[in-house]
Structure 1
Amino acid sequence: MATKFPPILTLQGAREAVIAATHRAIEIGIPMNIAIVDANLHLLLFERMEGAKITSIDIAINKAFTAAGHRVPTSVYKEAVWPGGAAFGIWNSNGGRFTTIAGGCPIVDVHGNVLGAIGCSTGTPAEDEDVATRGKEAIERVVRIGSKAKL
């Protein structure tokens, strides 16, 4: 009996996510830093649009790292990280890489396996999440269409 493996997020798949995210960033008029990590939290692709904030480079990468590692969008931590919140101080974990600012979204296959994540930064948290969501959705559409394909 053949073993079934989840799809793998490839460089080509990461490019598709970046293209979709870039188009959305252009639509809303906010240049972005866009990072894609694989399921092992390693940087697969990074793009800095002209005019994106240099100080947001690490933030975009860390948003992707956090979303893939915790398997949830970084926006879920908004209320929990305030003093007294259940996750207060969590940003100190993982060598300071854990990010609680919206803009990181896991990329998930049809079975719920996290294939990686996208992180975007330069705009407001809502703008960053909007752009990241567009990139994530582009890949997830491909996963639904061709479940045996490498992405």
Structure 2
Amino acid sequence: MKTKCILGLNEVNAILDAAQREAERNHWNITVSIVDDSGELLGLRRLDGASPMTAKISAQKARTAAFSHKETQFFEEMINNGRTAFLSAPLEGLLEGGVPVVIDGQVIGAVGVSGVKADQDAQVAKAAVAALA
């Protein structure tokens, strides 16, 4: 029987705290969402000043990263490079800012960030994931 790591409450809080520190250090108003490997929401933190729509977008980015086992930047670049047919895929959150959480080679969840420029969202998400290293 296989065993797998999971994101528990301590890990979720560590990720949320790391994302908040990175965003506040840069004066960015963002929302960060964390999902498990099935895309179910485990945690969400919307910083003061973040637009309400960032809550939905960050969760969608996290789900897409969890389902695909890829950073969502992959999909945004694919679409921007002409593969517009991919827009009809049954996924949401195809914008940069979703990053899988990988432990021992297994995706155990993902982080999604929304609120600033795409590369800045990704910067916060990667800083958050790094909190588990």
For normalisation by structure 2, the TM-score amounts to 0.92
With over 3 angstroms needed to count, the CA separation of the structure-2 counterparts of 1:91 and 1:35, relative to structure 1, is: farther
Counterpart residue number, 1:104: 98
Any runs of at least 4 consecutive aligned residues in structure 1 with deviations exceeding 4 A, and if so which?
none
Aligned partner of 1:93 among 89, 92, 95:
89
Deviations 1:123-147 (A, max 9, x none): 00011000000111112x1xxxxxx
- What is the identity, as a one-letter code, of the residue corresponding to 2:21? H
Q: Distance in 1 between matches of 2:29 and 2:106?
A: 30
Query: Root-mean-square deviation (CA), in Å?
Result: 1.5
**Shift in Å, 1:42:** 0.2
Question: Rg bigger for which structure?
Answer: 1
Aligned partner of 1:70 among 68, 71, 74:
68
Q: Distance in 2 between matches of 1:36 and 1:115?
A: 11
Q: Contact (CA 8 Å) 1:68, 1:116: kept in 2 or not? A: yes
Q: Distance in 1 between matches of 2:82 and 2:31?
A: 32
Establish whether residue 135 from structure 1 lines up as the match of residue 133 from structure 2.
no
Counterpart residue number, 2:107: 114
Q: Distance in 1 between matches of 2:11 and 2:57?
A: 22
Aligned partner of 2:25 among 24, 27, 31:
27
Number of equivalenced pairs: 133
Counterpart residue number, 1:16: 14
Q: Distance in 1 between matches of 2:50 and 2:85?
A: 28
- Bigger drift between 54-63 and 76-85 goes to 76-85
Q: Contact (CA 8 Å) 1:91, 1:99: kept in 2 or not? A: no
Deviations 1:93-124 (A, max 9, x none): 33xx42221110000002x1001000000000
Aligned partner of 2:42 among 35, 44, 48:
44
Q: Distance in 2 between matches of 1:26 and 1:117?
A: 21
**Shift in Å, 1:4:** 4.5
Q: Distance in 1 between matches of 2:26 and 2:11?
A: 23
